[in-house]
Chain A
Amino acid sequence: MTSPRQHLLEQIRNALGRGELSVAEKERLKIRLRRPVIYTQPKWETPDQIRFVDRLRAADATVAAIEVMHALPEALALYLQQHQLPPELVIANDPELTRLSWGNAKIHIGPNRAQYAVSLTKANYGIAETGTLVLLSSVSSPTTLNFLADHHIVLIDQENVVTHIEDVWDRLRKARTALPRTMNLITGPSRTADIEQTIQLGAHGPRYLHVFLLRAAPRY
């Protein structure tokens, strides 16, 4: 008896009016997979850094700049104050974040199954084209931090803002052999238009997305 897999593949070949591909044809397709073609990309006039911030804001995120890494705790404290939130947050186990002096703030580390109201993570890349943050899951970037808090705060180094979506693929191929379990492309807070086509932020994910753009390389 043929397996469902074998049968389905045979049906595909029958529908295409051919048998299994020849070795030469497979080789040709393998090359197409290994050397991806970049198709038409959107163009714009404004500098990438400005476009990135503009697109983020257009997607209902808020953005603030910091000049040095150690300015982050104070800037974040101000954000919490403005939103009348207690100084408590869950942060990714990333040495760049954990070694900062957080003062009076109550800091939790790790994933966010406990659903703390505020989470802080670091984005691996930003995409100027669409104002998108790219977060790769890892021990220092658990995915629950990106979805279970009401306020998702993201730090991104300006140097990691790329022009087009494809620039991220290029960097990923150079940096690693496989994709992480999850790659989140985040463009604004959670939203729904399922009730009378009215856009409402905070459907199931964060109600707020706040981005700190680190202007210079970290200095301590």
Chain B
Amino acid sequence: MHPTSQSFKNNARRALSDDNLQRALARAKSGFIDKRLTALSELPEFDCLREQAKEIKDHTLAYLDYYLECFEAKVESIGGHVHWGRTAEEACNTVVGICQAAGAKLVSKGKSMVSEEIGLNDALIRANIEPVETDLGEYVLQLANEPPSHIIAPAVHKTREQIADLFEQHHQQYSHVDRRQSVAELVNEARLVLRERFLAADVGITGANFLIAETGSSVLVTNEGNGDLTCTLPRVHIVTAGIEKVVPTLEDATVFLRILGRSATGQEMTAYTTFNTGPKRTTDLDGPEQYHVVLVDNGRTEMLGNEFRDMLRCIRCGACLNHCPVYGAIGGHAYGWVYPGPMGAVLTPAMIGLELAGDLPNACTLNGRCESVCPVKIPLTRMLRALRARQFNQELTAKASRYALSTWAFFAKKPRLYHAVTRLAMALLGGLGGHKGWIRWFPFAGAWTRSRDFPAQQAPTFQSCWKTMNKLHD
């Protein structure tokens, strides 16, 4: 997918004036937050589990080479294949190669963020292989030719009417000519259309929530059942997964099962949690003949070696998105690439480069809600600050901001001068505010004050208050 993170400001402006989007976001936000809270209220052990989950991930990352090799050995011992993709391109080529060797024309796909990240659908189409997204949200977006705007609810930005329009337009060819109105009718029509596609597909591609080193299993956590049809019906099953998805044992994975559903949708357990371990056995009556796992690096080993290692603990639950005031106001598309919200503001610069995604770490108030709900305790605000510092050091920050900061630093290093200047500035600001106490417009900062008022100076500076107080006490 071609990133548009560089035009974040324009994207955000457009999102704020999009009425459909604003309605959809308002509905989604409260739903996610309330459901999570209810689920947590029934599990007093949740905070303890968060700490354990963090420890398990930290341990696994510290021995990542060992656990990946264990996983590989186990998968091969049961007749599966493990492939290693260093870059998005290498991973895509591997998947396309497996599909071509299987003579595949049609591929059914379960929802997978890593497949979005490496641009797998485009690679398949270029090789004349048709990918069909089968998660309902992803399917809607494939029809609309749009990327997902949320990592667990990809079509959260679409209204029912927009989905009805898309189905009416695209389902004529399957003799569904009437326009469907209700959610039930729309879901049913997609079920009928996609069922045929599941049965016709030659290869099924899914992601993985976890890989288990002990057993060689890939774990899929879903609700619709599309992931299971994708990995059961076709002749070949391909799993694409980031290298950070591996955990040592079934018991380790269990800790994550207890926090993932609750953090994502407020579910204690999703409808389907599936452990796939290798291809069909000789006595099995169904299941794929081939089982492949493609392990994807795509920037992850670099993060492992720098200050962004903690980000590799992420289990893609979406809680940080749901609790972010910026995401809640502009939705996911404004972020311009695959991963939106706080986790995206860290991952996107790490994966496509800070120079292409420089606005993302700045689109944050550092309020810390994301961090307080993160089930694996990722210090998101620290990492966003680190990205800002990097930006400044690499001189990627806008000239105006750099000059302003240098000017401030010049004065800040000279306390006497600084106090004199701030006293003057405070008096000036107080005057600008008039008797209402709010400043509606600033010279050179029109963009900032267009949607905000700045509180005018009400009292003398802190330093002069301090001096006066000390004099009184003497």
Give the size of the chain B interface in residues (CB under 8 angstroms).
96
Shortest distance between the CB of A72 and any CB in chain B (Å): 22
Instruction: Convert B107-144 into 0s and 1s, putting 1 for each residue whose CB lies closer than 8 angstroms to a CB of A.
Output: 00000000000000000000000000011110010000
B226→A169 contact, CB < 8 A: no
A contact residues around B272 at 8 Å (CB): 184-187, 190, 205
Partner of B301, one of A15, A132, A182: A15
Is the CB of B240 closer than 8 A to any CB of chain A? Answer: no
B contact residues around A24 at 8 Å (CB): none
Q: How far is the CA of A139 from the CA of B282 in the complex (A)?
A: 9
Interface centre among A16, A20, A138 (most CB of B within 10 A): A16
A contact residues around B186 at 8 Å (CB): 195
Closest Cβ neighbor of B188 among chain A residues = A202
B153→A15 contact, CB < 8 A: no
Q: How far is the CA of A33 from the CA of B212 in the complex (A)?
A: 10
Is the CB of B271 closer than 8 A to any CB of chain A? Answer: yes
Shortest distance between the CB of A147 and any CB in chain B (Å): 5
Instruction: Convert A129-165 into 0s and 1s, putting 1 for each residue whose CB lies closer than 8 angstroms to a CB of B.
Output: 0111000011100111011100000000000000001
B215→A179 contact, CB < 8 A: yes
Is the CB of A200 closer than 8 A to any CB of chain B? Answer: yes
Instruction: Convert A3-31 into 0s and 1s, putting 1 for each residue whose CB lies closer than 8 angstroms to a CB of B.
Output: 11101110111111100110000100100
Q: How far is the CA of A169 from the CA of B135 in the complex (A)?
A: 29
Shortest distance between the CB of A198 and any CB in chain B (Å): 5
Q: How far is the CA of A37 from the CA of B265 in the complex (A)?
A: 27
Known contacts A15-B304, A39-B254, A200-B187, A184 near B274 by CB under 8 Å: yes
Instruction: Convert B176-219 into 0s and 1s, putting 1 for each residue whose CB lies closer than 8 angstroms to a CB of A.
Output: 00000001101110010011001100000000000001110100
Is the CB of A196 closer than 8 A to any CB of chain B? Answer: yes
B224→A205 contact, CB < 8 A: yes
Closest Cβ neighbor of A11 among chain B residues = B301
Is the CB of A216 closer than 8 A to any CB of chain B? Answer: no
Shortest distance between the CB of A29 and any CB in chain B (Å): 6
Instruction: Convert B42-67 into 0s and 1s, putting 1 for each residue whose CB lies closer than 8 angstroms to a CB of A.
Output: 01010011001000000000111111
Residues of B within 8 A of A (CB): 24, 27-28, 31, 43, 45, 48-49, 52, 62-70, 78, 83-86, 90, 134-137, 140, 153-156, 158-160, 163, 183-184, 186-188, 191, 194-195, 198-199, 213-215, 217, 223-226, 228-229, 231-233, 243, 248-252, 254-255, 257-258, 265, 268-281, 283-287, 295, 297, 301-302, 304-305
A contact residues around B137 at 8 Å (CB): 192, 194
B159→A196 contact, CB < 8 A: yes
Q: How far is the CA of A137 from the CA of B163 in the complex (A)?
A: 36
Q: How far is the CA of A45 from the CA of B296 in the complex (A)?
A: 44
Is the CB of A84 closer than 8 A to any CB of chain B? Answer: no
Is the CB of A203 closer than 8 A to any CB of chain B? Answer: yes
Is the CB of A86 closer than 8 A to any CB of chain B? Answer: no
A21→B225 contact, CB < 8 A: no
Partner of A181, one of B90, B252, B277: B277
A contact residues around B265 at 8 Å (CB): 193
